[in-house]
Structure 1
């Protein structure tokens, strides 16, 4: 088997592109070369191994047919097309897409760069693809799961910031999976080989918070019979996750700010200044900006920890993910040799519920329901009575044409942002806009 496929089209690519295709054959990551008409000119062995369906030729095919099974380019079906965006920018573009692969749909980080000729005209594009291993677009027994636009937006932000050392602040309601996102961020970072240490800031007094975080020396206080390293020291070379950061005692926020700014800290009862080495990820369900205005959270600390905020969506904002999450939770909870499933009627009820407790509430409901499902099938009667009777989302109403046109006036953001604002999918928004002559 050759190391690289070359476009079999009788019209040969320029020698410069042939050389580029041959060069990319030695890349360890999947790479393809595309012409400006979306045709795949070359694909290295790594790409064919990860993304090429058995027995299906890749070369000469349209990239959107291979990756998405679409009959039109991504931007014409309501999605972000990196080639179109790169053409508009005159430079590279990057996006997180869901690609069809021999293993099923997967989240893929796509980076596309134009190849220019001597006259500045685009000859081709080089597309590098990296499969996202810490999130699944199918039911999974572990990790993050989702396919909705709001979930993909949060995941894309995570992919962007993971290689850096910037502090990350995860924002969202309780039960939205902030610890899972923090762990995924750690696993996608250069510190994945180091420890991932969780500090639950809620309910800790000032004295207990300091000793837990910084550790203490023998004899520092009654009961300190031996030296104990703190969680900062335990996180050496890895990630320190401060969950419910808004609950950090005000007096401790000064020491925490000093730790973040200088990396220096002292054990309780100690004199030696130690140097910390960790990547900080914080999370809170509280509106920190409002707590700053109320004088309950230090402004300087707020700006230090919120260098890269990521808003995690509530479950009611991603109803299309509920079936995926249900299957994933049941995979995790199913007894050995006894698969669990949900009837269509019960699933419809789960999809209609408002889920004020988010994914945590969904997991609790399913854990309870499976105890009544003796044959492994969860039915409506196995769901909590309150869930069956009430607290359901109102039926979504699509905006009128007039409301849609009004929303367009002065709007300068992306189609994804506009769709989220209007409560539509990107594809629905695209069809609506096209029908109104606004595409």
Structure 2
């Protein structure tokens, strides 16, 4: 896309164009000099005097050279080379600190088709923060920024998204960010955790049922597909969908229609689909455990979420954000040695494991300062100390701590007591869904 202006007073005319955009916009010369800004830019980033000859890379990034000379992608250089619109996700300086900004660069041509300047449009990514720990997703590493760029691009479309990555990398947060950035954000985001559901339970959860459809169906039940109508349906752990239900799910996605269990009435639903899995679905397809046609239906736009090991430079920001979320009323701080201890850990459980570790450190801490000794003690709790010879009591072992199920049960029971039986808070701290918490608590009571 290019804009063409008359060769008469081109910069003045192009500058007037900026007010026609409903987002922050600046006019930039081919030598990176800022020529004009619109009122949206001035409101969000402050006023710039064009007479001062500021360069865009100085104002946006605090650099002394263009972005592509500083090891980053430069939308202006890309647009100059291609002759059409280019788009890049950058971290920009602002009065609020560093922010993730989706940048679009539009070349402006004169009547003869010669390039005269560029319009740079800046779209904030409200769900992510490069410094603001109050945002849903935080990070500034290249791995995180690359993932966020894909989320930002696909959010504006209605394409089905498949979120891939290890357990604990934040796939549910990514799904929420995609929904929030879409045109469906005023409608609900409805989540179905597919893991652990039987065929019948999956079907009735997804499609609903009518009264008398089966024993115990005492009333009509609205399915999640119906609840997601107009909004977004998020199928978490799609790789665990029972094989017999995959064909019904495929029919829903292809036709947009379904029937409640026990009903012959055909219903329709219009929703945006987001799926997530930590499994290699292609391997499941090859093994005959997942339908190939369903795989291609859900794998329209795949996004791989980086593991914590792939974004270790984000660890300080993530730790600060998690500490604030775990303990909103009492601020905790990590010492430099404590941060080094965290960086030396591999975190196979990713962000969920980091959150659990920090929760244990807060529980064990007598002050609001978390040091390296406390981090090491919290790491040792990964395998309960009572499951190994007790150093304090003459190598006496404790058989009641010999399995992880018992340790998990006691951990959840202690969290429930500490948080006054607030299940949503406990599920958030434990890094599991509310449905999973209910299931685990039921198992504890049965035991």
Fold similarity call, TM over 0.5? yes
Q: Pairwise mapping of residues 9-408 of structure 1 onto structure 2 (< 5 A)? A: 15-52=9-46, 57=49, 60-336=53-329, 338-385=330-377, 387=379
SS at match of 1:371: helix
- Structure 1: how far apart are the matches of 2:137 and 2:319? 13
Shift of 1:389: 12
- Structure 1: where are the runs of 5+ without partners? 1-12, 392-439
Shift of 1:387: 3.6
- Structure 2: how far apart are the matches of 1:75 and 1:58? 23
- Structure 2: where are the runs of 5+ without partners? 1-6, 384-447
Q: Render the CA deviation track for 1:317-347: whole Å, top value 9, x for unaligned.
A: 00000000000001112252x2110010001
- Structure 2: how far apart are the matches of 1:21 and 1:157? 30
Residue 139 to residue 329, structure 1, CA distance change in 2 (3 Å): farther
* Greater CA drift, 142-151 or 207-216: 142-151
- Structure 2: how far apart are the matches of 1:62 and 1:224? 67
- Structure 2: how far apart are the matches of 1:244 and 1:118? 54
Higher helix share: 2
| Aligned-pair Cα RMSD in Å | 1.8
Shift of 1:120: 2.4
Equivalenced residue count is 376
- Structure 1: how far apart are the matches of 2:295 and 2:135? 32
Residue pair 1:35, 1:41 contacting (<8 A) in 2 also: yes
1:8 corresponding residue in structure 2: none
* Greater CA drift, 168-177 or 43-52: 43-52
Residue pair 1:215, 1:231 contacting (<8 A) in 2 also: yes
Residue pair 2:160, 2:273 contacting (<8 A) in 1 also: yes
Structure scoring higher RCO (CA < 8 A, sep ≥ 6) equals: 1
Shift of 1:282: 0.1
Residue pair 1:196, 1:235 contacting (<8 A) in 2 also: yes
- Structure 2: how far apart are the matches of 1:308 and 1:120? 35
Shift of 1:28: 2.5
- Structure 1: how far apart are the matches of 2:74 and 2:269? 42
Q: Render the CA deviation track for 1:204-235: whole Å, top value 9, x for unaligned.
A: 00010000000000000000000010011111
- Structure 2: how far apart are the matches of 1:107 and 1:14? 36
2:402 corresponding residue in structure 1: none
Residue pair 1:110, 1:127 contacting (<8 A) in 2 also: yes
Residue 384 to residue 227, structure 1, CA distance change in 2 (3 Å): farther
Over 6 Å off, 4+ runs: 388-391
Residue pair 2:334, 2:369 contacting (<8 A) in 1 also: yes
- Structure 2: how far apart are the matches of 1:335 and 1:84? 44
TM, length-normalised to structure 1: 0.83
Shift of 1:139: 4.2
Residue 385 to residue 340, structure 1, CA distance change in 2 (3 Å): closer
SS at match of 1:383: helix
Residue pair 2:360, 2:378 contacting (<8 A) in 1 also: no
